[in-house]
Chains A and B, each alone.
Chain A
Amino acid sequence: MSPRTLLDRLRRTDPRHYQIAALASLLAYGLVWLRFEVSPGRAALLLGTALLTQWGCGRMQGFPFEPRSALISGLSLCLLLRSNSAALAAAAAFAAIASKFVLRWSGKHVFNPTNFGIVALMLLSGGVWVSPGQWGSVAFFGFLLVCVGGLVVYRAERSDVTLAFLGFYAALLVGRSLWLGEPLTIPLHRLQNGALLIFSFFMISDPRTTPDSRPGRVLFALMVALGAAYVQFALFRTNGPLWSLALCSLAVPLLDRLLPGGRYQWQRAPRARKGVPDETPRPHRGAVALDGVLPHARAGFLRLLRGEG
């Protein structure tokens, strides 16, 4: 098979499959090579809880079980969330998925599920943490390749929020270092961070929770970047991007009102069903279908990203 045919064939597949494969390989790499502190049992618990919650909540609201997005949230939690307590880990997975069904505004859910699960448990329990240093910078380039690979394969037509965030955040880090007179190796080192890549390519990019219009998304990316830098360099706390995203997500309804935009239309979107949260793309405003049942949809990058929804 020629590379071109392979690429074409890949583009016809559901982008979430690429995303699941990417996250699963990152997890395998992290477990075997970087000795992440997640046991296979813990990974199974996180994935199992996420899937079960998806199934249960879906059932209550009466639509078919769609495991892929829950799997993506579960895998992201395996990569990011650390805890000594199995109960807290399960609670985070539950909170992540349940938030999609409960915390909603104008047909969209408010928070990225993984982001919500982590932030909620960090706020409420004090028994979980995220290790942003766990990737090291050696693994970074391979990691970058996997993420950018997704952009290339799925033609990144809606990657604006990822690129805008990375651009703004990099500019803030470099600008700060230039102002302080630090060598540029410092901001570069800060940018070579696996956790930042997961955040940029798999979390902030979630079209379910980002503004509808491009100007809105770019503004949103700027807000998240400013917030992240504020947490890191003014409050001196870790996980700036996570805190900032959770907070800025609350402003998305306002951004959608100020800067309205048509929601993404899938080329072959199936019929919308009323009252089915997130699992089906809708043709009306608010129909960024990231968890949708889109077997034949021709992909844009948005769909690669939508798995977090």
Chain B
Amino acid sequence: MAFCPTLAQGFCGFYVARGDAQLFNQASQVVLVRDRDRTVLTMANDFKGEPSEFAVVVPVPTFIEKGQIHIGEKALVDHLDAFSAPRLVEYFDDDPCRRIALKAANGLMLPQSAAVREEDRHSRSLGVTIEARYTVGEYDILILSAKQSSGLETWLRENGYRIPPGASAVLGSYLKQGMRFFVAKVNLKEQSRLGFSYLRPIQVAYESPKFMLPIRLGTVNAQGPQELFVYALTRNGRVETTNYRTVRLPSDVQIPEYVKESFPAFYRALFAQQVRKEGMRAVYLEHFWNMGWCDPCASDPLSQEELRNLGVYWVGEDAAAQPGGGSGGPQQVFVTRLHLRYDAAHFPEDLVFQETADQNNFQARYVLRHPWRGTATCPEARAYRAQVRQRHQQEAQTLASLTGWGTEDIRRRMKVGPDWSEPEPPAPKWWETIWKK
């Protein structure tokens, strides 16, 4: 099951259209609902080119009937993304002259963040069998099997899919494993009839013991590394990769306050640094949580209806019938958010997963702690300020080691002096104090 929008980014496939690489740095997002041998795969994309240019080629382990395909809502994936995103938490120091106490603040979520018959005949002559042909939502979908990868390659080329050199071998290895290809293009007529201005995610439900995600097609001709987010929704526990190391993103560390203004930049730099640290050979765990609750919440947990729409078939059996679907309540659904940056050299084989029995929640969480900036003249205030200076230094060092940014640069952005002290606030103007009590 790999998927590849035209842009060639993405876990799945190869450049399948006359694609200009206008959409670099784009991440693929995949939701993988898994319970026993059942899988529901949702493939979201941020394709922004001409819809006529869009095409996906996804190896799938079984034949897919029409009823197994569904077109979902991008908003669901966005909600899941927001729920599981790395987050900032703020704390405020109290007046040191009263006692330093901590107060929790809200979580801050990461902004996200007749021709047909002829065609069949021709296909057969190439050894390619069009096993089924469906129109679902705005997509025309074909399920292909083939005797030989060269025939499939020719067929795909003739049908406007741009196949990079080298793809044939990869296609061949999937064919020998008995896999089919799920091929989708946008049906422009349907799209304008339905009135969607963007491409909605394709969902496929199938039953197979294979708990994996093919990424090899996507690396065949990729220009540089690609980014992939996998959101696994499971019933029993955390999901990890069995053929690559799964590493937890550093979490629960205190970083300078200014990061609040530039959290996305921080997160990108942090991730890049972690990838460097592990030699781009690890998959990162960013979040693992029971869907029933969150603390702090970057976003509300998904409702039962939303979960069902993503393919979590075991929740809210009756809720689907109820208006609104209901939300909250104990749901035995765990979300694992995995993030990886990969290329063919460092990730030679497809991702293989397992569901573990681990139920310990984990979130990538970064802590801001604002010092007391009011007037404080008691004797404890001096000790407190020294402590704050030390804290600033430590936060800067933490940030430097997390992101690879220079400590001196961080210090300047923190607007603190070389001794890590904050500049004294300017003395109040004489009139500012007249009417203050």
Contact = CB atoms under 8 A, between A and B. Distances in A.
Interface string B149-186: 10000000000000000000100110011000000000
A135 interface: yes
A236 B173 contact: no
A188 B236 CA distance: 32
Interface in A93-134: 126-129, 131-134
B398 interface: no
A258 interface: no
A236 B37 CA distance: 10
Contacts of A138: 278-279, 281
A136 interface: yes
Contacts of A183: 169, 348
A129 B356 contact: yes
A134 B176 CA distance: 30
Chain A at the B interface: mostly helix, strand, loop or mixed? loop
Contacts of B242: 131-133, 238
Nearest to A184: B348
Given A84-B359, A180-B176, A180-B177, A133 B246 contact: yes
Interface string B242-269: 1111111000000000000000000000
B248 A35 contact: yes
Given A35-B247, A133-B246, A181 B169 contact: yes
Contact of A133 (B173, B209, B241): B241
A34 interface: yes
A236 B348 contact: no
B211 interface: yes
A236 B211 contact: yes
B357 interface: yes
Contact of B173 (A132, A182, A190): A182
Contacts of A35: 247-248
B148 to A, nearest CB: 11
B245 A134 contact: yes
A237 interface: yes
Given A180-B173, A236-B210, A136 B357 contact: no
Interface in B6-32: none
Nearest to B177: A180
B177 A133 contact: no
A180 B172 contact: yes
A126 B349 contact: no
Contact of B356 (A34, A131, A179, A193): A131
B358 interface: yes
Interface in A16-61: 34-35, 37
Interface string B196-229: 0000000000001111100000000000000000
Interface in B365-413: none
A180 to B, nearest CB: 4
B354 interface: yes
A129 B354 contact: yes
B240 interface: yes
A97 B82 CA distance: 47
Contacts of A237: 209
B348 A186 contact: yes
Interface in A185-221: 185-186, 188-190, 193
Interface size class of B (residues with CB under 8 A): 20 to 34
B38 to A, nearest CB: 14
Contacts, number: 78
A265 interface: no
A127 B349 contact: no
A186 B354 CA distance: 19
A159 interface: no
Contacts of A135: 245
B349 A133 contact: no
Contacts of B349: 186, 189-190
A263 interface: no
B278 to A, nearest CB: 7
A77 to B, nearest CB: 16
A136 B357 CA distance: 21
A188 B169 CA distance: 18
A275 B244 CA distance: 46
Contacts of B244: 133, 136
Contacts of B357: 83-84, 126-129
B253 to A, nearest CB: 14
A38 B243 CA distance: 20
Most buried by A among B149, B172, B242, B281: B242
Interface string A124-158: 00111101111111100000000000000000000
Contacts of A182: 169, 173
A236 B179 CA distance: 14
Nearest to A236: B209
Nearest to B352: A238
A29 B248 CA distance: 17
Nearest to B347: A189
Contacts of A179: 176
A235 interface: yes
Nearest to B208: A236
Interface in A210-256: 235-238
A296 to B, nearest CB: 43
A181 B281 contact: no
A189 B243 CA distance: 8
A129 B173 CA distance: 30
B354 A238 contact: yes
Q: Which 9 A-B pairs have the closest CB atoms?
A: A136-B245, A185-B348, A180-B173, A236-B209, A129-B356, A186-B349, A127-B357, A238-B242, A181-B172
Interface of B: 149, 169, 172-173, 176-177, 208-212, 236, 240-248, 278-279, 281-282, 348-349, 352, 354, 356-360
14 contacts: A35-B248, A82-B356, A84-B358, A127-B357, A132-B243, A133-B242, A133-B245, A134-B246, A136-B281, A180-B173, A180-B177, A236-B209, A236-B210, A238-B354
Given A135-B245, A136-B245, 7 more contacts: A129-B358, A131-B246, A133-B243, A180-B176, A182-B169, A183-B169, A237-B209
